Amino acid sequence: MPQNDIDFESISVRLAETQSEIESAQALRYAVFYEEYGAIANSEMATEKRDFDEYDAYADHLIVVDSSGVKDKIVGTYRLIQRSAANQVGQFYSASEYDIAPLLKCGSTLLELGRSCVLPQYRTRPVLQLLWQGIADYISEYDIELMFGCASLHSTDIKSISKPLSYLHHYHLAPENIRPRALKGQYINMNIIPQEDINARRVFSELPPLIKGYLRAGSCIGDGAVIDEQFNTTDVFIVVQTHLLTDRYRKHYERKLQKTIPGGDDSSSNVQDIAAFKNKVS
């Protein structure tokens, strides 16, 4: 379906209400992460053509629904994990890569974001606006104070991404009291290039739009990167303190927000990179 054939008046966002809808969201995730982006599926997922894990049973699943056809079609999704849901499994998903004790101890209401993706033909500003509108409503409903997850650089060659990693370390490191650290054995030092040797403006402009957008919105970065072999990416930890968002970007998380793309007009790239906000969460 070409983007200009989409009936945007028929598209809405809400939480999944049935197991069938959750499974459809999982199938969407599989199509994007594994078939489009080349992640490595285990045999069970490959057989069922769904991306799933133990968190899905306890998470909330935000879905974007196209109702223009005979049957509703899920065209976008985002997995939302509150602390109570993480406790059902035993930990937050991102704890498999990072020591998130500082977040757990900070006293804020937490939300882990992940498994976000949109079908290629729906990667438009209006659809992404709806996805963020759903997150905004959710944050308002549950009084979320701190959101987190992992964003990805599309390479496992640390040398090739040494500039963005170093830039993030020097300019956007999270305050120590809320700074997760990559686990021992997975930790990759992001302090590779001296700060004085980095053209900050240029490196920032070349960051993936999702990461760039979150930085503009006031987010900060954990200590250390982690290579995700399954998804062929290098993950960095994103922390968003909602009370520190600037007035311009606070609208992303308010109930009546009008414009929601953090990275400006590069809406297509933003949606594509949202697929990599895996919360490694992916």
Q: Which CATH number goes with the domain that contains 116?
A: 3.40.630.30
pLDDT score recorded for residue 215: 86
Q: Does position 61 have pLDDT exceeding 50, yes or no?
A: yes
Does the residue 281 lie in any domain?
no
pLDDT score recorded for residue 254: 54
Does the residue 279 lie in any domain?
no
Does the residue 43 lie in any domain?
yes
Does the residue 18 lie in any domain?
yes
Q: Which of 95-99, 122-126, 141-145, 247-251 has the highest mean pLDDT?
A: 95-99
3 state SS for the chain: CCHHHCCHHHEEEEECCCHHHHHHHHHHHHHHHHHHCCCCCCHHHHHHCCCCCCCCCCCEEEEEEECCCCCCEEEEEEEEEEHHHHHHHCCCHHHHCEECHHHHHCCCCEEEEEEEEECHHHCCHHHHHHHHHHHHHHHHHHCCCEEEEEEEECCCCHHHHHHHHHHHHHHHECCHHHCCEECCCCCECCCCCCHHHCCHHHHHHCCCHHHHHHHHCCCEECECEEEECCCCEEEEEEEEEHHHCCHHHHHHHCCCCCCCCCCCCCHHHHHHHHCCCCECEC
Instruction: Determine which of 47-51, 52-56, 125-129 has the lowest per-residue pLDDT on average.
Output: 125-129
Rounded alpha-carbon distances, angstroms, from residue 43 to 14, 40, 46, 54, 80: 31, 10, 5, 16, 26
CA–CA dist 206, 193 (Å, integer) = 16
Query: Is residue 78 a contact partner of residue 115, using CB atoms and an 8 Å limit?
Result: yes
Does the residue 53 lie in any domain?
yes
pLDDT score recorded for residue 273: 43
pLDDT confidence tier of residue 37, bands split at 50, 70 and 90? confident
* Enclosing domain of residue 131: 3-274
Does the residue 112 lie in any domain?
yes
pLDDT score recorded for residue 247: 46
Q: Does position 159 have pLDDT exceeding 80, yes or no?
A: yes
45 vs 211, residue with greater confidence: 45
Q: Does position 97 have pLDDT exceeding 50, yes or no?
A: yes
**176-203, pLDDT tens digit by residue?**
999 999 999 999 999 999 999 999 999 9
CA–CA dist 182, 172 (Å, integer) = 16
pLDDT confidence tier of residue 126, bands split at 50, 70 and 90? confident
Does the residue 168 lie in any domain?
yes
Does the residue 282 lie in any domain?
no
Q: Does position 277 have pLDDT exceeding 70, yes or no?
A: no
What average pLDDT does the segment 17-43 reach? Answer: 95
Number of structural domains found in the chain: 1
24 vs 241, residue with greater confidence: 24
